[in-house]
Amino acid sequence: MTELEQYVTSYFGVAEPEELEIISSFFKPETIKKGDYFLLTGKAADKLSFIQTGLLRVFLATENKEVTQWISTKGYFVTDLSGFIFEQPARWTIQALADTELFTIKREDYKKIGTLMSKWHELEKLFIARCFTTLEDRIFSHLSMSAEERYTLFFEHNKSLFNQVPLQYIASMLGMTPETLSRIRKK
User: According to CB under 7 A, which residues from 97 to 156 bind DNA?
Assistant: 146-148
Binding mask 27-46 for a second copy (x = CB under 8 A): --------------------
Is 177 among the residues that bind DNA (CB under 7 A)? yes
Task: Please tell me what DSSP assigns to residue 89.
Answer: B
> What distance in Å separates the CA atoms of residue 171 and residue 101, rounded to the nearest whole number?
25
CB 90 within 8 A of CB 44: yes
Closest Cα to residue 59, out of 162, 165, 181?
165
Closest CA to 84 of 124, 54, 119: 124
> Measured from the CB atom, is 118 or 187 closer to DNA?
187
For residue 139, give the H/E element and its range.
helix 120-144
Q: What is the DSSP code (8-state) at residue 100?
A: E
With CB under 8 A as the contact rule, the residue among 28, 33, 119, 185 that binds a second copy is 119
Contacted by 37, from a second copy, DNA, none: CB < 5 to 8 Å by type: none
Should residue 5 be labelled a site residue for DNA when binding is judged by CB under 7 A?
no
Check: CB of residue 48 under 8 Å from CB of residue 4.
no
* Residues 35-74 as x/- pattern, contact with DNA by CB under 7 A: ----------------------------------------
115 is a site residue for a second copy (CB under 8 A): no
Using the minimum distance from each CB to a second copy, give the nearer residue, 65 or 183. 65
Nearer to a second copy, 91 or 112 (CB): 91
DSSP one-letter code for 27:
-
Of 67, 69, 101, 175, the residue at the interface with DNA (CB under 7 A) is: 175
Measured CA to CA, the distance from residue 119 to residue 169 in angstroms comes to 38
Q: Does 181 bind DNA (CB under 7 A)?
A: yes
Asked whether 95 and 56 are in contact (CB, 8 A), the reply is: yes
Secondary structure letter of residue 26 according to DSSP: T
Residues that bind a second copy (CB under 8 A): 60, 62, 65, 67-69, 81-82, 85-86, 91, 114, 118-119, 121-122, 124-126, 128-133, 135-136, 138-140, 142-144, 172-173, 175
